[in-house]
Amino acid sequence: MDSFLHLARPLGPVSVGTAPTTAPLNVVIQPQAIFSVLDHSLRRNADQERVIGTLLGTRSEDGSEVEVRSAFAVGHSEAEDQVEVDMEYHKQMLALHLKANPREVLVGWYATASELNTFSALIQNFYSGQGDGTWPHPAVHLTVSTQPGKDLETRAYISAPVGVTAERAADSAAFIPVPYELRYGEADKSGLESIANAKDAEERSATITSDIESLERAVEEVLSMIDRVSRYVESVIDEETPASTAMGQFLLNALALAPKVEPADIERDFNNHIQDVLVVSYLANTVRTQMELSTRLATAQLTLGGGEGAATGEKGNQRGKGNQNRRQDREEARA
């Protein structure tokens, strides 16, 4: 991780009076925003070096933290001396997006190359400008390098205006790197884990695992971690690796977390626990069977016993029984 030192610089002549703030800013990125950016990068036209798009998210009340939650692509074309961004598209897409996510706001834009050039400054000035931009908050510029064969490199910037004259300031900006953090919620964890399952596979795909399979994996993972730690401890005891008091303390703390309980208590708790689980499972399956039986009896062709009357009589009987059983089940479940 890079270290950041934030220096407030004197603001340019243009924005005196209506000063946009350059106060320190924390950027939090959610994984789906990065995924969108990467997806867009894959879908760029063959002749395009980089693609850009709009970042959406939320801003904390004092404006010191920006959370990037999603992103959408915006078409643009760059030539030697000019850049065209499809602003109409951006506006329409933004409106569509806000319809479904009313809580999210425009926070900035992304590009899929690390390079910052005059065009970046131009686009940055548009996104941070008044009216359609993020003004008075700074616009976040996120660069994700997607060069083949190299690590993905993500950087976040905000900008300060520079330039002596108004014309000069319009197409220049001083990009100030800001720290960012990749954050994901509890809910994203399981998704990311499933996605990560595919990371070593040749065809880059994975099936969704069942409860028991993922439990197995988790157990294996824990076992390998314990192995690793005990290997380390052993090598310290054998004086092969240098000892570390901090590490020792940490491990001791972890071991102290193991509960001290009486065997009888364990026995009792265990039995209660497992009985609860099994009873619910049993009841659920009984209910399922009863219901299936009742539906089947109601719709199946009953030819037993001959006459129509006998058949319906039987049907009624069975259903009566089913009801009774079910009622019992329910009482048990409530108890």
Structure tokens that stand for 89 in this block: 């598209």
Nearer to other proteins, 168 or 183 (CB): 183
| Shortest distance (Å) from residue 60 CB to other proteins | 17
d(CA 64, CA 158): 12
256 makes contact with other proteins (CB under 8 A): no
Positions in 114-133 near other proteins (CB under 8 A): none
Work out whether 209 is an interface residue with other proteins (CB under 8 A): yes
Minimum CB separation from other proteins for residue 168, in Å? 32
Site string for other proteins, 296-315 (x = CB under 8 A): x-xxxx----------x---
Distance CA(116)–CA(127), nearest Å, equals 15
* Residue found under tokens 């106060």: 23
DSSP 101-123: -TT-EEEEEEESSS---HHHHHH
* Pick 164 or 237: Cβ nearer other proteins: 237
CB count in 10 Å sphere of residue 22: 19
Give the closest residue to 70 by CA, choosing from 44, 43, 103: 103
Contacts for 191-199 with beta carbons within 8 Å, 24 or more apart?
A: 192/31
Q: How far is the CB of 77 from other proteins (least distance, A)?
A: 13
- The phi-psi region of residue 108 (left if phi > 0; otherwise alpha if psi is between -120 and 50; otherwise beta) is left
Question: Which CB atom, from 7 or from 205, has the smaller least distance to other proteins?
Answer: 205
Interface residue with other proteins among 8, 16, 166, 182 (CB under 8 A) is 182
Tell me how far, at minimum, the Cβ of 18 lies from other proteins, in Å.
33
Rounded to the nearest whole angstrom, what is the least distance from the CB of residue 196 to other proteins in the complex? 5
Which of 11-19, 128-136, 167-175, 212-220 is the region at the interface with other proteins (rule: CB under 8 A)? 212-220
> What dihedral angle (degrees, nearest 10) is formed by the CA atoms of 167, 171, 173, 179?
150
Residues 29-88 interacting with other proteins (rule: CB under 8 A): 30-32, 34-36, 38-45, 69-70, 73-75, 86
Closest distance to other proteins from the beta carbon of 61 (Å): 19
Tell me the CA distances in angstroms from 183 to 73, 75, 157, 194, one per residue in order. 22, 28, 18, 17
Does 105 bind other proteins (CB under 8 A)? Our answer is no
Per-position x/- string for 263-292, each x denoting binding to other proteins as judged by CB under 8 A, each - no binding:
x--xx--x--xx-xxx-xx-xxx-xx--xx
